[in-house]
Amino acid sequence: MDTITVKNSLIKIVLGDITDLDTDVIVNAANAQLILGGGVAGAIKRKGGPKIQEECNEIGGTFVGGAVITTGGNLKTKHIIHAVGPRMGEGDEDTKLTNAVLNSLRLMDEHGLKTISFPAISTGIFGYPIDRCANLLISTTKKYLIGETQIKEVIFCLYSNPDYEVFRKELI
């Protein structure tokens, strides 16, 4: 695990399954319809139970770059922030991914939450390049943490060793 300090907060890179983490929030790499399908969302659906999808259905969806919050269902985490990243080729992907991260962090502050775990948003079936994702997620988070926030810890949780190495190199 690699860690840096930004003002009063920590940024960590970990290798593992995000659904096993015990942070206040885990981030789901969501689609705009908030349908829990494959990848991170599929793992959340399997381990978290039907309540999470029921809450997503009540919300009804959000825009690309947006984020909404639900409970964590049967997971260790108290909440899930469903952040909608872009699909490669749809245009303005970097701005949309930046907004997904910023909107997630803002929801943390609005709800008084302290610890959050992000996956590599949009890098699965959405096709966003892992190196660009690492650069954007880490730089956006650093800038946010310099401002006024009560967030204490931001974890980037990567499922594969190659993805972990890309994020680790970006952090250090």
Q: What is the pLDDT of residues 115-152, one digit of tens each?
A: 999 999 999 889 999 999 999 999 999 999 999 999 99
What pLDDT sits at residue 51?
Answer: 95
- pLDDT band with cut points at 50, 70 and 90 for residue 37: confident
Structural domains in the chain?
2-171 (3.40.220.10)
Angstrom distances, CA of residue 2 to CA of 57, 66, 72: 37, 28, 26
Q: What is the pLDDT of residues 78-88, one digit of tens each?
A: 999 999 999 99
Percent of the chain scored above 90 by pLDDT? Answer: 94
What pLDDT score was predicted for residue 1? Answer: 62
Helix (H, G, I), strand (E, B) or coil at 70: strand
pLDDT on residue 38:
82
- Stated pTM of the model: 0.95
